[in-house]
Structure 1
Amino acid sequence: MNRIVCIGSVLWDIIGRTENAMSLGADRPGRITRIPGGVAMNIAQTLARLGVTPVLLTALGRDHPGDELIEAARALGMVTDHIHRSDLPTDTYMAIESGGDLTAAIADAHSLEAIGDAILGPILDGALGRPDAPFDGVIALDGNLTHALLAEIAAHPAFASADLRVAPASPGKIDRLMPFLNCDHATLYINLEEANALSGTADVTAPEAAVTLSRLTRARVLVTDGPRAAAMVGPDGVLTAIPPAVTALRVTGAGDTFMAAHIVAERAGKAPAAALPAALETAARYVSGTD
């Protein structure tokens, strides 16, 4: 089945963008948009653009913003039948991007965190899998889930046969990925700052960080570093690729786009040496606003 389960945050992104660099307290003209977002939704949107049907497992409120997100997800071709609805408000993310960089952001994912393992019901109760017949496809996981819930997923038999692809929500939540360091069926997609936070080192390049983490984890790790070389360690050593040079018009969701594109490239049978640059090219098109 050409489906991938995306577990995590689906919310509204409110993003202000200006071409000019901003310092603390600055006030600049620009554009403000409200679009479907959240790590799981960002991944799902790229999957859908690349011809894969995403299945969303998330928590949304029984409110108008939640209804709007359901409608938007269905319009994009996503499966929304298993989304958990509650009386808690639908979550929101707010960011300011200036000069092609992220200036500041606040993620309000409190409802997702409060719901806890209720969003996992379809993987546990037979709708998508169960412990004695576990789901054996790709699952994209979002670091906005709580540390306790991610630890449960890493160890739960219902996820033991899945190809787990894990994205941190932010450097500040990187510790939530710790349960997957001993998970040999997981792949972690992180940037250089997150890699150093996870390893407790101060590597200056993605290849160095990938090598460091390869010595600390059983999981596969891909490390990106903005416009500089990305890297992963495989059976044949360190694989690197440099993203295409583009003018950055947006940055929110770039890492999620890279992760989704890499998943699709591998599922299409591309070798590691081809999958990594293919994913970087997709992410570059996203950042430049051409995709």
Structure 2
Amino acid sequence: MTRQTAPLPEILCIGSVLWDIIGRSASHMRQGSDVPGRITRLPGGVAMNIAMTLARFGMRPVLLTAVGQDPEGDELIHACHELGMETAHVYRSEDLPTDRYMAIEGANGLIAAIADAHSLEAAGAKILRPLTDGSLASEAAPFEGPVALDGNLTLMLLEEIAASPAFARADLRVAPASPGKAERLRPFLAHGRALLYVNLEEAGLLCQREFDTSEAAAAGLIERGAARVLVTNGNKPACDGSAEGLVTGCPPEVLVTRVTGAGDTFMAAHIVAEAEGCDRQEALDRALRAAARYVSGETAF
């Protein structure tokens, strides 16, 4: 008798899937620095980074994004398959190139970064068609599982998602792509159900004020209408805030060897922990450990 295996839990990952071009040096850097180091090209983007961690820990990420039909896009789609992701619903544009992200990291952290997600922004609502045409869901039968959404989409599309019946039954988890795009998440402050993952700077931008601690930032976001938030603050305590109260956790002390993708790893690890039934404290602690291991150069969890 053939043994039947249970299907992997499915999660939609909506947002940027692109090539990360990262230059890293062991030296401290400042503006104008010219130092030796290593330059790598890896699959990246917020949605992609989240999906990679989810796939490693037993979930089946379904990507909704835009990828060009250029050679870089073909190579990226192949890499996604190899990493355990479902790409059948990816929008493949004939005239838009595959997006890219470029960053410089030194021993003192991220020095500078440029995200070229113009193709994703230009594709707009086309990436969401599988949620209305019956491929994954429809207006009559909305998607009911978890959704990881990133802020690389345009403000107009994020506003549409916040109000769309297609997401009315989803477990919506939302993260900004960067502090520069944090204000795009304002539609989700009044959403009523979405869980926002932000760092201290992003929380301040959303509330239009400065915060000294993650606890103060979480309380500020709840006061502004957010249903639930997770606020990180580098190597300082993080906070899970909701109407039920605040839960805090401290990241383990580690030697930092990389920073790009740490927040995405934190978010994915937290989603997995809650999917496995962890309470708020344990889920936060597991996510902080995963992010710490990631920045130290180890794998997550």
The corresponding residue for 1:285 is 293
Deviations 1:65-124 (A, max 9, x none): 100111000001100000000121000000000015110000000000001000001111
The corresponding residue for 1:42 is 49
The corresponding residue for 1:114 is 122
What is the count of residue pairs matched by the alignment?
291
Alignment partner of 1:3 out of 10, 13, 19: 10
- Give me the whole-angstrom Cα distance separating, in 2, the residues matched to 1:198 and 1:21: 31
The corresponding residue for 1:256 is 264
- 8 Å CA contact 1:131–1:158 kept in 2: the answer is yes
- The percentage of counterpart residues that share the same residue type is 62
The corresponding residue for 1:167 is 175
Measure how far apart 1:234 and its partner are. Answer: 3.3
Q: What amino acid maps onto 1:31 in structure 2?
A: R
- Give me the whole-angstrom Cα distance separating, in 2, the residues matched to 1:145 and 1:225: 24
Residues 156/126 of structure 1: CA separation in 2 closer, same or farther (3 Å cut): same
Q: What aligned pairs does 1:54-73 form with structure 2 within 5 A after superposition?
A: 54-73=61-80
- Give me the whole-angstrom Cα distance separating, in 1, the residues matched to 2:33 and 2:283: 41
Alignment partner of 2:139 out of 115, 131, 138: 131
- 8 Å CA contact 2:17–2:47 kept in 1: the answer is yes
Secondary structure class of the residue paired with 2:148? strand
Secondary structure class of the residue paired with 2:101? strand
Secondary structure class of the residue paired with 1:189? strand
- Give me the whole-angstrom Cα distance separating, in 2, the residues matched to 1:110 and 1:234: 34
- Give me the whole-angstrom Cα distance separating, in 1, the residues matched to 2:194 and 2:246: 18
Deviations 1:27-64 (A, max 9, x none): 00000000000000000000011111100000010001
- Give me the whole-angstrom Cα distance separating, in 1, the residues matched to 2:76 and 2:125: 21
Q: What amino acid maps onto 1:25 in structure 2?
A: G
Q: What amino acid maps onto 1:149 in structure 2?
A: L
- Give me the whole-angstrom Cα distance separating, in 1, the residues matched to 2:45 and 2:104: 15
Q: What amino acid maps onto 2:294 in structure 1?
A: Y
TM-score (norm 1): 0.98
Measure how far apart 1:185 and its partner are. Answer: 1.7
Select between 215-224 and 255-264 the one with higher mean Cα deviation.
Answer: 215-224
Measure how far apart 1:200 and its partner are. Answer: 1.1
- 8 Å CA contact 1:100–1:251 kept in 2: the answer is no
Q: What aligned pairs does 1:140-155 form with structure 2 within 5 A after superposition?
A: 140-155=148-163
- Give me the whole-angstrom Cα distance separating, in 2, the residues matched to 1:100 and 1:281: 21
- 8 Å CA contact 1:162–1:185 kept in 2: the answer is no
The corresponding residue for 1:189 is 197
Deviations 1:208-234 (A, max 9, x none): 111111111133111000100000223
Alignment partner of 1:242 out of 237, 247, 250: 250
The corresponding residue for 2:284 is 276
- 8 Å CA contact 1:116–1:149 kept in 2: the answer is yes
Secondary structure class of the residue paired with 1:9? coil
TM-score (norm 2): 0.95
The corresponding residue for 2:222 is 214
Q: What amino acid maps onto 1:252 in structure 2?
A: T
Deviations 1:167-205 (A, max 9, x none): 101111111101101112200000000000100111101
Deviations 1:256-284 (A, max 9, x none): 00000000000100000110000110111
- Give me the whole-angstrom Cα distance separating, in 2, the residues matched to 1:290 and 1:25: 30
Q: Which runs of 5+ in 1 are unaligned?
A: none
> Which aligned runs of 4 or more in structure 1 are off by greater than 2 angstroms?
none
- Give me the whole-angstrom Cα distance separating, in 2, the residues matched to 1:181 and 1:124: 24
Residues 92/245 of structure 1: CA separation in 2 closer, same or farther (3 Å cut): same
The answer to whether 1:205 aligns with 2:188 is no
